[in-house]
Structure 1
Amino acid sequence: MNERRWQGELLAPGGSVAMVEAAVANGADAIYVGPRGWSRRRDAYELPDEGLRRCVQVAHAGGARLRAAFNTNPQSGEVPALLRKVERLAGFGIDGVIMTDVGCIGEVSRRFPGLTIHASIGANILNNEDVRFYREIGVSQVVADTKLTFRELASRKHDLEVGIEILIHANKCYTYLGKCWMSPYHRLERAVDEFGKDLFRGSPNRGGLDYRVCLEAWHLYGGDTLWEERVALKNDAFFLVDDIPKLLDLGVHCLKIQGREYPVELVGRMVRFYREMIDAYLTDRAAFSLPAWKVRLADLRVERDRERTQGTQALLAEARLPVLAVAGGCCR
């Protein structure tokens, strides 16, 4: 069989040069990376300039595209540093940027007219009017919220002249991604790095890491009365394996895997799984067996969930540590 069509891309995480290499080797069409201090992750999963330059080289050598995520909300004093960083990465040959802040999107679009700009999941785009606004300020692709129904997604794909990105391997937020202010509940530190980036450890929206305090066991009180113990806020794993055939036939532009913080080997296997599943469906739709792919995903999901649970436990433990004085001052 020679069936095909789709022509979208499988987007994979790049938390290190080695992870970018693994993603390319296992079939990713594009990889997203984070410039240090600008992408809602711990330093270990972001990259300095030379690492970003190397990632561009690796991706392009393998026929893939590389995008840099600037998905924080900078204050006015930080914007010049952001623009300098974008200019530097553009000089490296980066294929595009992923952004949240509308003011910065507009300025990057104006200063770098040839640079592709995608709106981050943190932009929290919920309706068609949001999409039109982002398109008008220079965005060519937006992320569909995980709460969007398939009918709403199909309508957006049909009616709007903008690329649609879908999370196929991620986690839901019990509120809305990019709009949560719970992370610094236990701990918030401020530091200014050597490039002028104002970091708030504990606030992913301000360049820090997410402590995931929403995943603690919460006690629910009414006044002084305990109503319920160990309440779990809804933050489910989000796997769209059942919907991938429909998404491919609909022609969504991008299928995204999250996971910059996972081990390189696991990310490589995740990318390989989705690459092979997509190719199998596009090659022979009649012979495609979804149950067989769900069985394969089950093993990956167990390992992925274990890694995420361990990471969450470490973050919650870190959040309860005493706040230390750091360069630039400290705040609670």
Structure 2
Amino acid sequence: MTALLAPAGTTEMAFAAIDEGADVIYVGPLGWSRRPYESEMTDDEIKTVIDYAGARGKQVRVVFNTFPSPFEMDGFLEKARRFDAWGVSGFIVTDPGAIALFRRMFPHLVLHVSIGSGVTNAWDAQFYRALGADVIILPYRWGEEEIVETRAASDIGLEVFLFETVQTGKICPGKCIMSSYLKFRDWQEVEGKDYFYGSANRGAKECYRVCQTKWDFGAADEPPTPLKLRRDARLMLEQLPRFVDLGVECFKLSGRERPTAMIRDLVRFYRKVLDGIESGEARDMALHADELATLQARWISEKRKRVDTLMTRADGLRSDAPWTASA
């Protein structure tokens, strides 16, 4: 059975994703999941979501995709134990040491390797499987060949994003520190980390999507050339039947910071598509092309709005930042 994994940046989004057919949703605790606080949840909100999902036979993964320092480990593990006691089904983790530690502490939970780990080749699957991970998220630039290689390298479960990009390259989410050159953000008191300034990789508010904004590139005495480091991603469709056949076990939607209506409609769409593939009744993806085109236009529009918001926020913070590199 192929699972549909959906984001939940708010309780409203969590309920909508579950009601529309997501098998699993993922939530981020305040200060631990590389997102601004408006897309993360308090512990009480996470408990509410766990209870709601459990009552409907669905699962919740908690995202711990930051790199905790030695000074944060007590709080880190305290939260993990709390969520386990409340009935969470697993964790999405970036730090290799944390994956190994969680495997020993929570042998009954599902451990995902986060995209923040920066997987770059099929043999990384062997490494993370040896640490105790159950599922590994593959980079969204990978195709059939890389999936086959990863499956040959390890028996770890395979998770794939439900979007793709036509641009190749090795810009690795999670191993990028570009946002830190704009601003080292401080924690909020509610996050319990008010003693530290840090980057998104340490949970300090957010990645500013530096790679997705527009840049002017060129020598000082030449007209600048506009460019982007990454192109807008496209929602995936045509590859889905083949990916299912190759053994992909989990398809993931990203977008905790997106509008709830956008995530609701995407979950509804992909639930229908995946059910049709698995039943064998609707494996012709052309049947869904028009509906996907409408969703794609909305997806790109919301994505660009979000990038503009983040870069505007970063520009507004630079003047009073205690540790900020000049542009």
TM-superposed deviation, 1:136: 1.2
Residue type of the partner of 2:225? E
**Which whole-Å CA distance do the structure 1 matches of 2:224 and 2:318 have between them?**
30
TM-superposed deviation, 1:180: 1.2
**Which whole-Å CA distance do the structure 1 matches of 2:110 and 2:133 have between them?**
8
**Which whole-Å CA distance do the structure 1 matches of 2:162 and 2:2 have between them?**
14
Among 120, 138, 147, the residue aligned to 1:153: 147
Identity %: 32
Match of 1:14 in 2: 8
User: Is 1:229 matched with 2:221?
Assistant: no
TM-superposed deviation, 1:159: 4.1
Instruction: Return closer, same or farther for 1:283/1:191 CA change in 2, 3 Å cut-off.
Output: closer
Instruction: Return closer, same or farther for 1:114/1:280 CA change in 2, 3 Å cut-off.
Output: closer
User: Is 1:76 matched with 2:70?
Assistant: yes
Match of 2:323 in 1: 331
TM-score (norm 2): 0.91
**Which whole-Å CA distance do the structure 2 matches of 1:142 and 1:280 have between them?**
25
Match of 1:247 in 2: 243
Among 98, 102, 108, the residue aligned to 1:104: 98
Residue type of the partner of 1:303? R
Partner SS state of residue 136, structure 2: strand
**Where in structure 2 are there 5+ consecutive unaligned residues?**
none
Instruction: Return closer, same or farther for 1:199/1:66 CA change in 2, 3 Å cut-off.
Output: farther
**Which whole-Å CA distance do the structure 2 matches of 1:16 and 1:79 have between them?**
26
TM-score (norm 1): 0.89
User: Is 1:272 matched with 2:268?
Assistant: yes
Residue type of the partner of 2:2? G
Among 215, 218, 223, the residue aligned to 1:218: 215
Instruction: Return closer, same or farther for 1:236/1:310 CA change in 2, 3 Å cut-off.
Output: closer
**Where in structure 1 are there 5+ consecutive unaligned residues?**
1-6
1:92-125 per-position Cα deviation (integer Å, ceiling 9, x unaligned): 1100000001112222222223222111011112
Among 284, 289, 294, the residue aligned to 1:294: 289
**Which whole-Å CA distance do the structure 2 matches of 1:143 and 1:198 have between them?**
32
**Which whole-Å CA distance do the structure 2 matches of 1:68 and 1:156 have between them?**
25
How many equivalent pairs are there? Answer: 320
Partner SS state of residue 128, structure 1: coil
Residue type of the partner of 1:77? F
TM-superposed deviation, 1:204: 2.0
Among 188, 192, 197, the residue aligned to 1:195: 192
1:241-275 per-position Cα deviation (integer Å, ceiling 9, x unaligned): 11001111222110001111111121111000000
Among 140, 143, 147, the residue aligned to 2:137: 143
Give the superposed CA RMSD.
2.2
**Which whole-Å CA distance do the structure 2 matches of 1:205 and 1:14 have between them?**
20
Contact 2:123-2:150 at 8 Å conserved across structures? no
Partner SS state of residue 321, structure 1: helix
Instruction: Return closer, same or farther for 1:296/1:198 CA change in 2, 3 Å cut-off.
Output: farther
**Which whole-Å CA distance do the structure 2 matches of 1:76 and 1:238 have between them?**
39
1:305-324 per-position Cα deviation (integer Å, ceiling 9, x unaligned): 11111111111111011458
Residue type of the partner of 2:133? V
Residue type of the partner of 1:277? V
Among 287, 291, 304, the residue aligned to 1:309: 304
Residue type of the partner of 1:195? G
User: Is 1:128 matched with 2:99?
Assistant: no
**Which whole-Å CA distance do the structure 2 matches of 1:275 and 1:68 have between them?**
22
**Which whole-Å CA distance do the structure 2 matches of 1:131 and 1:54 have between them?**
33
**Which whole-Å CA distance do the structure 1 matches of 2:164 and 2:58 have between them?**
22
**Which whole-Å CA distance do the structure 1 matches of 2:33 and 2:301 have between them?**
24
Partner SS state of residue 54, structure 1: helix
Match of 1:23 in 2: 17
**Which whole-Å CA distance do the structure 1 matches of 2:187 and 2:320 have between them?**
9
Contact 1:37-1:199 at 8 Å conserved across structures? no
**Which whole-Å CA distance do the structure 1 matches of 2:227 and 2:251 have between them?**
33
